[in-house]
Amino acid sequence: MIVPTGTPDVLLRTEGRAGFITLNRPRAINALTHTMVLAVDRALTAWEHDPDVTTVVIEGAGERGLCAGGDIRAIHDDARAGGTASEAFWRDEYRLNARIARYPKPYVAFMDGIVMGGGVGVSAHGSVRVVTERSRVAMPETGIGFVPDIGGTYLLGRAPGELGTHLALTGGHVGAADALLTGLADHVVPSAELPALARDLTRLTADEAVARHTVTPPLGILAEQREWIDACYRAETVEAIVESLFGTGVPAAKEAATTLLTKSPTALKATLATLRRSRALATLEEVLDLEFRVSCAALTTPDLVEGIRAQVVDKDRDPHWTPPTLPEVTDADVTRYFTPPRGGDLGLAATLPSA
């Protein structure tokens, strides 16, 4: 048995045939730090080569959720200081996301409660993704002047129709049924049964264990909204999307348009451009390389600092975006998101074996 080294914020244990990773910052809804990312990666390395561990499970401590994302207060402080810590964090985080997607053993994610941003990255790329009736899965980055990352545009770009575009731009969360519909999860298990599922994973294969507890969720809402979502979000620009949403006469579409107008105009345009570029890429690694450029560019914009200030630091929920309206965001403003960062590209795609 190989015993990897955890940290106070990442608890590791083995039981039977399973290795368990517990994100352990419950007061912060287990938000990821750089140290946590490295600890998870070390555990995956150890257990990949341990014949006694046949399944890896990731879960969150506390009652609120698996993971609310990255530590955006730290990103805020780094951006204000013009530092490089966030870029270093993303390099290791995105590499971890890619590793999870290609992990050779079943990687079971308990996506219970809040699962947002970086929390999606350590779960939705896994091979066995379990949501519950409590799950709230989202990529809410446009609300803080950022762009969906951690392979989020890869996942959302491959959702049916324009559902992923809707979720990426609005930052809206989905429950269990809609997580399955959009390809963010595979199975629904009642939250009360997660301890029993964990016990079964220590002695059964992942497929056998999950099959014992899977249920059919109540209907979601996105399937009923596909018609106006697909019609409106296929427009070529964010302005045209907003105009189309307002013009449908559908209350939910109007609500979506109103929501979009509260988000960072620059982040909205950069998100739409990133999502559409990612659809043309074949692998998650290529998309992560693209997102790394976008994330590093966002770090130098005023909207990221302002968005985190308004939502997390001061909590006044009153961000003042620069520029403040969609028409004022130029093509050049968007194009700069796709230039190589000062520290160089991520280069994940270059590590893939040639076909």
Active site residues: 70, 118, 141, 149
**DSSP element (H, E) containing 18:** strand 18-23
- Residue burial 257-271, b: 16+ Cβ < 10 Å; e: rest: bebbeebbbbbbbbb
- Sheet containing strand 10-15, edge to edge, reads 10-15, 18-23, 55-60, 107-111, 128-131, 187-188
Q: Which residues pair with 131 in a beta bridge?
A: 111, 188
Q: What is the dihedral of CA 116, 117, 123, 125, to 10 degrees?
A: 140
Cβ atoms of 209 and 201 within 8 Å: the answer is yes
Beta-carbon contacts of residue 195 (< 8 Å; ≥ 6 apart):
none
In the structure encoding, which two tokens stand for residue 124, read together?
Answer: 């939705």
* Torsion, Cα of 222, 228, 234, 238 (10° steps): -90
